[in-house]
Amino acid sequence: MSDVTRSSETLLEVVDLRTFINTRQGVLKAVDGASFTVRRGETVGLVGESGSGKTMTCLSVMRLLPVASAEIVAGEVWFDGKNLLEASEAEMRRVRGRDIALIMQDALAALSPVLSIGEQVGEPLRHHFSYSDADVRSRVIEVLDAVKIPRPSERLDEYPHQFSGGMRQRIVAAMGLGTSPSLMLADEPTTALDVTIQAQFIMLIREVQESTGMSVLWVTHDLGVVAQTCDRVNVMYAGRIVESGEVRRILKRPLHPYTIALMESVPSIGTKREKLYQIPGQAPDLRNLGAGCPFYARCPARMDICENEFPSATDDGAGGFVHCWAVSQ
């Protein structure tokens, strides 16, 4: 990241976000007190497995909760000086797709098969701005070119099925980038892509960031992707952020037992291990979370206090923090 595009100004600040879902078997705490920030020009990672709450966090920021039974019950989401959770729906519609873009994993599902890519990439432009048709078209070509779709002026009338998986994901990115958003929420955008296509995509987003200064909240479960894209990382488990910090600090000197376990359990090229570390047990039932640390049952470093009290934050000495009693000793 060049210093020109980065400043210490905070773009997004999420404070103690809680999103719960009412199910027949109880209240499911999808996000249970998540706090993090994203600065201008920065790339922040949100790492976790399924059930960690990372997707629901993104959707909560956009106030696009997937089911009627889901509700943001507490917290603040400060974006550009405004608390989005208190904004009206009309105000949210101005933010969504214009200042904050959201791209997700399944590009095929995000694209309508019956509309041309030109129409789909142009839709946010038409919705948010009063461009003329010619202006929209030229902007669409510009954006498609920026995401490296070959011959965009010819291809913008083609349909999604005429493109490969990697190109479709880039088209989805184009849909988000047309309005020059200041923040992009990318939820596992490369998980379904081949590794060479993933690498292309990572480079592409990096280039866009370098030229526009856009911030990215990169949600993933892949620590390699995190290493190659993020400046700072938040590790989520069972709806909470258990560790946060600079990417080098997290990857080279992880503090939280879950982060450590995750890194030990993932094979990586070059590090030969006899046996991968196995995290025992399984993820907790989000309907039955106690007041203690959600990782308690599976933690090799657990102590009595962990079962009853969620650990307070301990500074990691490099601008980040970790929630762990064992570390704060």
Query: Which residues here bind other proteins, judged by CB under 8 A?
Result: 21, 23-25, 28, 30, 49-51, 55-56, 59, 66-67, 104-106, 109, 164-167, 188, 194-200, 202-203, 221-225, 227-228, 247-248, 251-252, 261-263, 265-270, 272-273, 275-279, 282-287
What pairing do the DSSP bridges indicate for beta strands 10-23 and 70-79? antiparallel
C-beta of 21 vs 44, nearer to other proteins? 21
Residue 208 tokens read as 């866009």
CB of 11 to other proteins, least distance (A): 22
C-beta of 73 vs 276, nearer to other proteins? 276
226, 47 Cβ separation under 8 angstroms:
yes
C-beta of 283 vs 313, nearer to other proteins? 283
CB of 279 to other proteins, least distance (A): 4
| Alpha-carbon 301 to chain mean position | 29
C-beta of 57 vs 182, nearer to other proteins? 57
C-beta of 49 vs 158, nearer to other proteins? 49
CB of 41 to other proteins, least distance (A): 17
CB of 260 to other proteins, least distance (A): 12
Q: Measured between alpha carbons, how far is 23 from 20 in angstroms, rounded to an integer?
A: 9
130-158 burial code (b ≥16 CB/10 A, e <16): eeeeeebbebbbebbebbbbeebeebbee
C-beta of 81 vs 150, nearer to other proteins? 150
C-beta of 284 vs 311, nearer to other proteins? 284
Smallest CA-to-CA distance from 174 within 133, 140, 150 is with: 140
CB of 238 to other proteins, least distance (A): 9
CB of 221 to other proteins, least distance (A): 5
C-beta of 24 vs 81, nearer to other proteins? 24
* Residue the block writes with tokens 């106030």: 63
Smallest CA-to-CA distance from 40 within 179, 175, 208, 216 is with: 216
Q: Measured between alpha carbons, how far is 295 from 181 in angstroms, rounded to an integer?
A: 36
Q: Measured between alpha carbons, how far is 108 from 45 in angstroms, rounded to an integer?
A: 24
C-beta of 136 vs 279, nearer to other proteins? 279
257, 279 Cβ separation under 8 angstroms:
no
- Taking the CA atoms of residue 278, residue 250, residue 188 and residue 144 in that order, the dihedral angle to the nearest 10 degrees is -150
For the chain, what is the largest distance between any 2 Cα atoms, rounded to a whole number of angstroms?
Answer: 66
CA dist list (Å): 18 to 71, 152, 242: 8, 42, 15
Q: Measured between alpha carbons, how far is 329 from 327 in angstroms, rounded to an integer?
A: 5
CB of 328 to other proteins, least distance (A): 24
CB of 258 to other proteins, least distance (A): 8
H or E segment to which residue 115 belongs: none
Q: Residue 23 phi/psi, 5° resolution?
A: -115, 170
CB of 115 to other proteins, least distance (A): 18
